[in-house]
Amino acid sequence: MVKHKDQFKCTACDGLSPKWQGQCPHCGEWNTLEAFEEVVTSSKRVKAAGTPPSFYSLSNPNEPSRYASGIEEFDRVVGGGLMEGSIVLLGGDPGIGKSTLALQLCKEYVEKNIKVCYFSGEESVGQLALRAKRLGFDNDALKISNEIELSKMLAGLESEKPQVAVIDSIQTAYSPNSDSLPGSPNQVRECASELMTLGKTKNITIILIGHITKSGVIAGPKLLEHIVDTVLYLEGDKQHYFRILRSVKNRFGATHEIGIFEMKQEGLTGIANPGDMFLNERKKGATGSVVTCGMEGSRPLLVEIQALAARAAYGTPQRHASGIDQKRLQLLLAVIERQLDIPISQYDIFVNVVGGMTLKEPAMDLPVIAAIYSSVKNIPVKENTVIIGEVGLTGETRSVMRLEQRVKEAQRMGFDRLILPLSAKKKVDDKENTFKYIKDITELTET
């Protein structure tokens, strides 16, 4: 039995739509939807055809190994090294250092006798060599190619049989099977899935470099994220020289781990002690400055939060948050106004997390309130103080996750005076009795 069903199909991406539209809902191309008849065969015939797949038992598979690069910050983010035969997406803004990081990985791998191919569709071999020279990389074992055509790249991988391949970038890869331009969602999807198939069958670890588009997503938006095994983003602002490598998806390890690097002449250098980096330019004894301890993945990080309260000149006071959530700031201001009896609407309030870090966790409530209070009242926070805690709408303080770890990090960095929620008292080890516990924010004024 054969059924017919009316649908519309996009000539550019083969995506289906139940109704006609001017723009394809899948790839965004215009005027590409055409009516077609889908032939649905009956379930009986499907059952009759086809051979059964092979089944395996769990005790059977050969366990893949990992390629540890020796770049500690990188290996930790991916869970101990890239998995053999896995496919990794390395995304980031233009110029952030993706190619630099990839080339540094190549250097480490090649030195460990791991065979690597580098497809550089964006830069000439000469440019790449120049960068390699800057990174102190002069090993001829790295195979470099400027090929961007997919079939040739696949053939190259089949003949070279590398263990790791870098595609820089997936947006320049091009397959003639698809009519659209390189970098379009269709091309990106086609190239990525072909490369993945080859990688999985030939056991090649493939690193796809992808640019983030203006709207903040990698071209071929979420479509690559679900195909690949691991998604890494390199971020940070270009004015500061540090870069954060973040894992947002990892089939072979924990996510939300970060690696912190500094961009130097000789490439991205891991920073083992990031606390120093965020705090070393801090002006001690300044009003509105509070040190707190945030968590990035499993890692505690000491950062400085600054607040500035200035008398508002015009009707509506300004509120500006950078590094913390704007809405959370509004809420905390309302709590301050009500619970601490401060006419906060008379002030313009600016809050900034120093060093371009973003802290979006409840543990930042208490330090933000303390910083604003310090600025409004012009009272500096005592030296060697770290403040951590969540604040509720009635001004009560609450404990936060991984408190012990944060406290340890603060002590390790030489901060011995901690201001914590009262409920945290039992959890922490205060040997020298220098911690202060507060039940609600009104007690902040006494510390």
Ligand X SMILES: Nc1ncnc2c1ncn2[C@@H]1O[C@H](COP(=O)(O)OP(=O)(O)OP(=O)(O)O)[C@@H](O)[C@H]1O
Beta carbon nearer to ligand X, 230 or 397: 230
Binding mask 80-99 for Mg ion (x = CB under 5 A): -------------------x
Q: List the alpha helices (DSSP H) in 208-325.
A: 221-227, 274-279
x/- map, 172-211, ligand X, by CB under 6 A = ---------------------------------------x
Separation in Å, CA 374 to CA 150, 228, 281, 283, 369: 60, 47, 19, 14, 8
Other CB atoms within a 10 A radius of the CB of residue 224 amount to 25
Select the span of 97-105, 151-159, 389-397, 398-406 touching ligand X (CB under 6 A): 97-105
Pairing of strands 258-264, 267-270: antiparallel
Helical segments of 63-124, H only: 72-77, 98-111
In whole angstroms, give the CA distance from residue 215 to residue 333.
31
120 binds ligand X (CB under 6 A): no
Q: Which of 26, 98, 107, 246 binds ligand X (CB under 6 A)?
A: 98
**Among 108, 122, 229, 365, contact with ligand X (rule: CB under 6 A):** 122
From ligand X, Mg ion, none, interface partner of 15 (C-beta below 5 to 8 A by class)? none
Residue placing its CB nearer to Mg ion in the complex, 127 or 326? 127
Q: How many helices (H) and strands (E) does the chain have?
A: 11, 23
Query: Which CB, 120 or 339, lies closer to Mg ion?
Result: 120
Going by the DSSP 8-state scheme, the letter that residue 317 receives in this structure is P
CA distance 447 to 60: 62
From Mg ion, ligand X, none, which one binds at residue 206 (CB under 5 to 8 Å depending on kind)? Answer: none
The crossing angle, in degrees rounded to 10, of helices 185-202 and 150-160 is 10
Nearest distance from C-beta of residue 358 to ligand X, angstroms: 20
Report the partner that residue 257 touches, choosing among Mg ion, ligand X, none (CB closer than 5 to 8 A by kind). Answer: none
Residues in contact with ligand X, total (CB under 6 A)? 14
- Asked if residue 176 lies in contact with residue 149, where contact means CB atoms within 8 angstroms, the answer is yes
Residue pair 152/158 in contact (Cβ under 8 Å)? The answer is: no
- Between 93 and 409, CB nearer to ligand X: 93
Give whichever of 277 and 371 is closer to ligand X, judged by the CB atom: 277
- Separation between Cα atoms, residue 378 and residue 6, nearest integer Å: 71
Tokens 């074992």 belong to 141
Q: What is the residue-wise DSSP string for 216-238?
A: SSBSSHHHHHHHSSEEEEEE--T
**Residue 421's beta-bridge partner residues?**
438
Are 41 and 208 spatial neighbours (Cβ–Cβ below 8 Å)? no
Q: Site residues for ligand X, window 258-277 (CB under 6 A)?
A: 263-265
Minimum gap (Å) between residue 122 Cβ and Mg ion: 5
| Residue 182: contacted member of Mg ion, ligand X, none (CB under 5 to 8 Å, by partner type) | none
The least CB distance from residue 82 to ligand X, in Å, is 18
Q: Which of 89, 90, 96, 195 binds ligand X (CB under 6 A)?
A: 96
Q: Which of 3-23 are b and which e, b meaning 16 or more Cβ less than 10 Å from the residue's Cβ?
A: eeeeebbbebbebeeeeeeee
Does position 97 interact with ligand X (CB under 6 A)? The reply is yes
Nearer to ligand X, 105 or 303 (CB): 105
Distance between CA atoms of residues 269 and 186, nearest Å: 36
Q: Which does 107 bind (CB under 5 to 8 A by kind): ligand X, Mg ion, none?
A: none
Min dist CB 98 to ligand X, Å, is 4
- Report what 100 binds from ligand X, Mg ion, none; CB cut-off 5-8 Å by kind: ligand X
The residues that bridge with 114 in the sheet, in sequence order, are none
Give the nearest distance from C-beta 120 to Mg ion in angstroms.
8
If one counts every other C-beta atom within 10 angstroms of the C-beta of residue 168, the result is 23
Closer residue to ligand X, CB minimum distance, 172 or 385: 172
Q: Which is nearer to ligand X, 264 or 425 (CB)?
A: 264
246 interacts with ligand X by CB under 6 A: no
Contacting Mg ion within 181-240 (CB under 5 A): none
Which residues make up the interface to Mg ion (CB under 5 A)? 99
Interface residues toward ligand X, by CB under 6 A: 92, 94-100, 122, 134, 211, 263-265
